Structure 1
């Protein structure tokens, strides 16, 4: 099984590094059966995190070592972007919405669309990653979550927002704000390899998953 974490220009580093470390630890816990790799749509290349000139990343660069492959069974993880929330794009300000919209014009979108059509792949997102897919037209009618500041935008794209830290909609798993990448990756390990593996990784990182994972099942609650 493969876990491909997709890098794109302007990515949020914590959206990438948190699930990367958890999934790598999970791979160690299952004897290396899970191959974890940083990829890009363009193939191996250095990828700069955050908006151009944005001080939050100090120009952090991560190396994509492979090309996103929508035929590999496993997980494809899409992070959000990091940059200013407000600003005038006409003045050259790369806000988070601008970065996410720009992602929609890259070669990543047709590859992720192909991955979403592959029954052997679960596509997962952290924070604004779901917005990137929704703005590209990939989440119409799907249950999903994102950073709380982007929920209204998510709804406007045709997705169905669910305010849970991790939303499991079958072959699509989305998570809320930045640190929820930890919970997302632990849930993926639990789905793929069972609770004992997930618990072992929790113990190693001295971290307990937060919140109830939402699934489209069970009784509908009455208003309280």
Structure 2
């Protein structure tokens, strides 16, 4: 009998819930797969959307992941100074078949030393800062550089998860899951990325400047700490 596929997702305060729950909805449809949400304890963890998610396991009790998954959100940048969480990511990654993230979860992978020389993506407003960890930023919806698979911002988590399903179970299974969850995006506006024609370019510039000013010191400090740890 084949052992269940172990999917371990890191859950942390101020996670962007769709980064986590979009892929989780896809992974929940997989046969013989177990999805675990891991944090320090089993108390409800607040998301950035006004509700909490209850962990199913802890960092010390989580099984070894076949697929390690780190979502993003503002809380991902708090992880850059959290040695316990970063050690968990690094330790799990060492035994995982795939090491993955969505949105700014890729910064936690970088701070754990997992993106040096790797192509990776993130939310468009933070993507350029991945270079601090030796990553090669790529502005694509899903980026694979074995064994690392990263998804771009928030809603791309569903694309990311379907890509993973196709890799693990084949394209037929991925198509069946896509059909079941009726993932047939037809947004009412064509403004979903800085490159789309209806995107407000002044908003793009303002958001890039604000995010860079706020987050670049945290990223630089994390990159320096990583260099010291090596």
TM bin (shorter chain): 0.7 to 0.9
Q: Indicate the residue corresponding to 1:149 in structure 2.
A: 125
Check 1:46–1:182 CA distance in 2 against 1; reply closer, same or farther (3 A cut).
same
Q: Distance in 1 between matches of 2:107 and 2:9?
A: 16
**Gap regions ≥5 residues in structure 2:** 186-230
**Higher share of residues assigned helix:** 2
Q: Indicate the residue corresponding to 2:7 in structure 1.
A: 3
Deviation at 1:73, TM superposition (A): 4.2
Task: Give the TM-score taking structure 2 as reference length.
Answer: 0.72
Q: Indicate the residue corresponding to 1:72 in structure 2.
A: 64
Conserved? CA contact 1:45–1:65, under 8 Å: no
| Count of residue correspondences | 180
Show CA shifts across 1:58-80 (max 9, x none).
2x110001024676242111011
Report the secondary structure of 2:126's partner residue.
helix
Conserved? CA contact 1:79–1:128, under 8 Å: yes
Q: Distance in 1 between matches of 2:98 and 2:137?
A: 19
Conserved? CA contact 1:164–1:176, under 8 Å: yes
Check 1:45–1:175 CA distance in 2 against 1; reply closer, same or farther (3 A cut).
same
Q: Distance in 2 between matches of 1:158 and 1:208?
A: 36
Q: Distance in 2 between matches of 1:112 and 1:156?
A: 18
Q: Indicate the residue corresponding to 1:16 in structure 2.
A: 20
Task: Give the TM-score taking structure 1 as reference length.
Answer: 0.74
Q: Distance in 2 between matches of 1:43 and 1:192?
A: 30
Q: Distance in 1 between matches of 2:85 and 2:147?
A: 18
Q: Indicate the residue corresponding to 2:87 in structure 1.
A: 110
Q: Indicate the residue corresponding to 1:170 in structure 2.
A: 146
